[in-house]
Each structure stands twice: as C-alpha cells, then as structure tokens.
Chain A
C-alpha cells in the first residue's frame, strides 16, 4: 500500500502510528490481530521487533558498524540463534556479500538502502513500513528497492509505503492520498 501526499499531510505520522511508535489520539491500530497500543511500553517494543520492519529515507544505519553488524542490530531486540546465518543470507540476497565488512560511509547510497532493507527483514516481520525508501536513490537503485519490497509482499508480507515517487506508487496494490492529516483519496 502506497501513501502519497504533500509535505505535512500526515504521511509520516500515519507511518509512526502504524509502526507502534506514536499512539494515535483516537481509533485503534490492529496488527496481526493484536492491538499493540494496549500493551505496555516494553511489550510494544517487543511487538515492534517481532512484527514490524522499518526502512527510512535516510537509512539510519549505525555508522560505526559494518554491514553485517548493522543488519544484526535488529537481533538486539529479538535475539535468535540463526540471526547471523539469516543476516548473511539477506546480505547475499541484496548483493552485498562483498561489502559485509564495510562501514556505511564506504557504501553507495543504494547499498546503504539495501543494508537498511536487510536489517528490516532480519526478524521476518509481517509488516514493513517504508518512509520514502527511494527518495535518496537513483533510478536503478530505486527500482531495486521497490523490487525487494514487492518481493516481500509477494511472500505474504504487508508493506506500507510513504512515497512521492509515482513509480513506487505504481508497484503497490493500493494507493492512498493524504491531505491535511486526512485520507483524501484511495
């Protein structure tokens, strides 16, 4: 699902609310049959780790960690015995196998976004929230990221995509338009 709209229309707020980071003033958020805002703060963190993956426009990689460790930061929240194997698998899948030991400053923007994507997918989330994932990327890298998101959706995951990019909206099953904090078109 793609969400479009002008700046300040509430796209990111919607994303934060859906990502269990910002409690909505009214209404309910239900993810995988659960209402996470009824949980305690610590439980909500656990819920996020187990069910939600985030991809940001500015990647938000930890700049002193290499690619492998950046991907593995998701395992801090949800430790798993196979986390390392899974991280290697994702790194390979996103064509970063030869960059696993590099820090973000040594990567191209496209590579950084792919690292962020691998990190978001490490804990096998059910919902992937992407805030302008192609905003900083060239056409080729943008397409690559959108393909990844589409692939995740095909595997049964849900993607909520905030974007200004018309191409990004085109690959989504459903596109929403927001204006002044309200849903303007669907």
Chain B
C-alpha cells in the first residue's frame, strides 16, 4: 500500500466528486486551448487571406500592366528621341522630323541598356505624295523592335515585313483596300498586311512599311528621324534623369517626352498599385483588429474560467477533506505523517488535473475546426493545470494535514455513541448506517449523498 494506490482507490470510489473536479479542469483547459487554437486559426486564416489577396492583386496588376502596355501603344509614344538639331516647331507643324540621324543609334541605345526604357522602335517618317492615288500621306518605315534584353523579350510592335504595307483607317477605307490586296506606292508594289482601326489621329493617314524599304524609297539609307522609346517605367520626377541618360549615350539627340501620356500612365499604374497595397493593408488591419478583439475577449474569459474552476476545485477538495475526516484521523493515529496526508489530497488534485487536461485539450482542439496539434501547448497545460489544481487544493489539503487526530477520533466516537443510543431505543426509523455515521460506507459517494446523510442524521439526533 502506498499513497498513490490510496489515491486511485479513493478516486474510483468517489467517482462523481472526482468527475466534477475533472470537469472543472476540462472546462479551464478546454477554454484556454480553444481560445489559443482559435487565435492560431485566425492567424493562419489571415495568412491565407492575405496571400490570396496578394496573389489576386499580383495577377490583376499583371493584367493591368498588360492593358497599359496595349493602351500606351495605341495612344502613341512615350518618349521620342530626335536629332539634336531638329526644331520642335517644325516637327509639330509637319508632323514628322525633318532632320536625320544614323539608324545605328537605336542599336547603341539598346546595347546601353538604359534601365528606364523597355522598348526601342527606330523609325523613318516623312510626309509624301502617294503618286498612284494622288494622296498625301505619312510614310513610316519601321523595323520593329530593337531588343534590349535579347530575342526572348516580348515585342511591343511587330515589324512590317519587306513587301508588306500596313494602312491607317482613312487610307484603306477611301482606297477600298483589304488585307492581301496588292497596291503600288511610289513605284513599289506592296501587299496589304494589316488594316488599322480608326484612331482619330494622323495614324489614320499613315502607311507603315519596312524601314529598309522606306530608307531606299526616300533616299535615306541607314538613316532614321526618330526613335520611339516605349513603356518607360518613368514617373515625372525621373524624366529629367532619363533625358540625361539618353543624351549621354546619344549626345547628338534630344528627347521629347509625351508627358501627359507617360505621367498619366505612371500615375494610374502607381495609383492602382498603391490602391492594391492599401487594400491588402486594410485587410491586414481588419484581421488584426478582429484578432485583437478575440485576444481581449480571451484575456478576460480564460482567467475568469480558470479562477472559477480553481475555486470550484478548492471547494471540492474541502468537501473531500470533510468527507474523509474519520479516515484522516485513523490514518494519523496509525502513524501516517502529516505530509503524507497533504500529498494524499494534492496527489488527488494532480491526478484530477492530468485527466482534466487530457480531456480538456482534446475538447478544446475538437471545438475549433481545423485546429492543429500543438505539442508545446499540451506540455505546458499538462504541467500547469495539475499544478494549478494542486494549488487550488492546497488550503484544504493543509487543513487535512493539520487536523488533530485525537479530536477527530473523539468526535467520531461521541457521534457513534449518540447514534447507538438512539438506535437502541428504536427512536429513529432511519437506519444507523444513514444517520449514525454519515460518513460511513453508504454515504459519501457524492456530495448530494453527504447532505442527505447529514439531514437524516440531524433528524435522528433531534428525535433523540
């Protein structure tokens, strides 16, 4: 026989009292574990939501960027690089540059890899008479894109193949030309490759042909009169820097920026980007606020529940001590030390704590859908809850250990004698086992029984 065995046997005997204690620990631990699991779930869900939001935003931004790219292409050019001696008044009056520069400039610019330019489109543009139709048109020779980042770069503008021609809307509509039709321009035969939609600009009277052919037709071999730099990642504050960069590489040039287009695009993009970031930030703040509310609620609820449970365990321990007064007295008379009595009750509380913790942890986890197993938390509550239960039982256990066995035995003896007296005179119809010794084996299964026994005992004593 040892204290542990005595504890187990007593627990098995007073199952209801023990179960009530376990229930108490279960409630406290379940509440704590549930609250923490809920907060963990919240954090995990927040991460998922934010990640999904970021991915969605990223996707939208990519689509937006693509849209901008296309819109920008349709709108015109972002930056136009012209020969230095080109008068802008002439350019605006004639709709094309009258000065020329080497085509090699485009290659040089591409090789220099100016960080703020993504696409380089050299062109040769001139207002000409289309003698075969009697029209004045803008003839533009293009060679497509001069790649800055190798052939894998997505082209902004497809080149026009030799022998092909792309026509603005006014031209192909008035001349009734269709894709695949043959037409002659300045004595050269071209096949219509593409018909542009109406843009409401000079593009509507523009004919695009291959750059080399345009150079040959205009007698400007190896010459261009503009380089279109598209898709600049520039904002207004950086434009002077871009200009300086380009002019450093191509000193014989000047840079015109189509400010309204570039800035509008940059601002729109930046605003969209900022809005996306703000949306994510708002989501984060909302989730953080919700978490903080839950945390605050848990911070009040959990200590209250733990305190309530501790008080309840203390009360149960006190009832247990009172119920086992006779047992304590006889054990002490047999020579059992006070500290052993102390451990008898503390051990019971700790067993209660361990069982309650296991059940409480399982309940807390089960109550929160998707809660993950948390070994450190389980270890912490497995240590903490039994200690707390022992602490709650400390005062009753101390009272038990400090009880005077002589007093107990004397009172028990007097109690027995008075009940025997009543029984011998047949005063009480209540069985002795109920009223004479209310802590006898028929009583004590539960607090309810104890009270009932006490009531009957009191009734018997009154009759005596």
The proximity string for B residues 405-447 relative to A, scoring 1 for CB distances below 8 Å and 0 otherwise, is 1100110110011001000000000000000010011101000
The reply on B348 being an interface residue by CB < 8 A is no
Q: How far is the CB of B436 from chain A (nearest CB, A)?
A: 9
A119 touches B338 (CB 8 A): no
Scan residues 326-369 of chain B and give those whose CB is less than 8 A from a CB of chain A. 326-327, 329-340
Question: Which of A66-74, A149-157, A168-176, A177-185 touches B?
Answer: A66-74
A64 adjacent to B1 (CB under 8 Å) = no
CA distance A62 to B325 in the complex (A): 11
CB pair B1–A83 under 8 Å, yes or no, is yes
The answer to whether A49 and B406 have CB atoms under 8 Å apart is: no
Interface centre among A22, A47, A83 (most CB of B within 10 A): A22
B178 adjacent to chain A (CB < 8 Å): no
* A37 CB to nearest B CB, Å: 13
The reply to whether A119 and B410 contact each other, CB–CB distance below 8 Å, is no
Least CB separation from A43: chain B residue? B337
Task: Report whether B442 and A76 are in contact in the complex, using a CB–CB cutoff of 8 Å.
Answer: no
- CA–CA, A147 and B134, complex, Å: 149
Contact A48 B409 (CB under 8 A): no
Please state if A45 and B332 are interface contacts (CB–CB under 8 Å): yes
- Tell yes or no: B258 within 8 A of A by CB: no
Bound Cα distance from A37 to B337, whole angstroms: 16
Tell me the smallest distance from the CB of B346 to a CB of chain A, in Å: 16
Decide yes or no whether A28 CB sits under 8 A from chain B: no
Name the segment of B5-13, B72-80, B243-251, B271-279 touching the other chain: B5-13
Expressed in whole angstroms, the Cα–Cα distance for A21 and B331 within the complex equals 12
How close is B363's CB to chain A, nearest CB, in angstroms? 29
For A45, what are the chain B residues with a Cβ–Cβ distance below 8 Å? 332, 335-338
From B443, which residue of chain A is reached at the shortest CB distance?
Answer: A63
Q: Complex formed: what's the CA distance from A12 to B413 in Å?
A: 9
Cα distance, A7 to B413, chains bound together (Å): 12
Q: Say yes or no: A12-B3 contact (C-beta < 8 A), given A63-B441, A64-B9, A76-B336.
A: no
Closest Cβ–Cβ distance, residue B432 to chain A (whole Å): 10
Q: Does B2 contact A (CB under 8 A)?
A: yes
- Residues from chain A with Cβ under 8 Å of B441 in the complex: 63-64, 103-105
Contact call A42/B337, Cβ cutoff below 8 A: yes
| Alpha-carbon distance A74/B420, docked complex (angstroms) | 28
**How many B residues face the partner with a CB closer than 8 A?**
39
Interchain CB contact under 8 A, B9 and A69: yes
Instruction: Say which residue of B3, B12, B338, B437 sits within 8 Å of A64 (CB atoms).
Output: B12
User: Are B335 and A62 in contact, with the CB atoms below 8 A?
Assistant: no
Closest to B412 in A: A58
CA distance A52 to B405 in the complex (A): 14
Contact between B437 and A49 (Cβ–Cβ < 8 Å)? no
CB of A131 within 8 Å of the partner chain: yes
**Residue with the highest number of chain A CB atoms closer than 10 Å, among B10, B331, B333, B410:** B333
Q: How far is the CB of A20 from chain B (nearest CB, A)?
A: 9
Complex CA gap A64/B442 in Å reads 10
Question: Given A21-B333, A50-B335, does the pair A57, B9 have CB atoms closer than 8 Å?
Answer: no
Is B410 a contact of A64 with CB atoms below 8 Å?
no
Closest chain-B Cβ to A54's Cβ sits at a distance in Å of 5
Chain A residues near B413 (CB-CB < 8 A): 12, 56-58, 131
Q: Does A65 make an interface contact (CB < 8 A)?
A: yes
Known interface pairs A58-B412, A76-B3, A76-B6. Does A16 touch B406 (Cβ–Cβ under 8 Å)?
yes
User: Are the CB atoms of B333 and A62 closer together than 8 Å?
Assistant: no
The answer to whether A54 touches B333 (Cβ under 8 A) is yes
Known contacts A58-B412, A65-B9; is-contact A48 B333 (Cβ 8 Å): yes
Distance to closest chain B CB from A177 (angstroms): 20
Which A residue's beta carbon lies closest to that of B11?
A: A64
Q: Are B437 and A58 within 8 A (Cβ)?
A: yes
B416 touches A119 (CB 8 A): no
**Taking the nearest CB of chain A, how far is it from the CB of B439, in angstroms?**
8
> Would A64 and B412 be within 8 Å (CB), given that A45-B335, A45-B337, A76-B334 are in contact?
no
Q: A83 contacts which chain B residues (CB < 8 A)?
A: 1
- CB of B331 within 8 A of CB of A76, answer yes
Q: Compute how far the CA of A76 lies from the CA of B327 in the bound complex, rounded to whole angstroms.
A: 13
Q: Is residue A93 contacting chain B, with contact meaning CB distance below 8 A?
A: no
* B339 proximity list for chain A (CB < 8 A): 42
Is A72's CB under 8 angstroms from B1's CB? yes
Q: Please determine whether A77 and B335 come into contact, CB atoms closer than 8 angstroms.
A: yes
In the bound complex, what is the Cα–Cα distance between A56 and B412 (angstroms)?
10
**CB <8 Å contact, A16 and B410:** yes
Chain B CB within 10 Å — which of A19, A63, A69 has the most?
A: A63
How far apart are the CA atoms of A77 and B14 in the complex, in Å?
24
A-B pairs with the 5 shortest C-beta distances?
A49-B335, A77-B335, A64-B13, A63-B441, A72-B1
Known pairs A45-B336, A73-B1, A76-B331 / 20 extra A-B pairs, C-beta < 8 Å: A7-B417, A16-B406, A21-B333, A22-B406, A42-B339, A48-B335, A56-B412, A58-B412, A58-B437, A60-B327, A60-B330, A64-B9, A73-B331, A73-B334, A74-B334, A76-B2, A76-B336, A76-B340, A77-B335, A105-B440
List 15 A–B pairs whose Cβ atoms lie within 8 Å, in order of A's numbering. Answer: A21-B405, A45-B335, A47-B335, A54-B334, A58-B413, A63-B441, A64-B10, A64-B12, A69-B1, A69-B5, A73-B334, A74-B335, A76-B1, A77-B336, A78-B335
Q: B residues bordering A, Cβ < 8 Å?
A: 1-3, 5-6, 9-10, 12-14, 326-327, 329-340, 404-406, 409-410, 412-413, 416-417, 420, 437, 440-442, 444
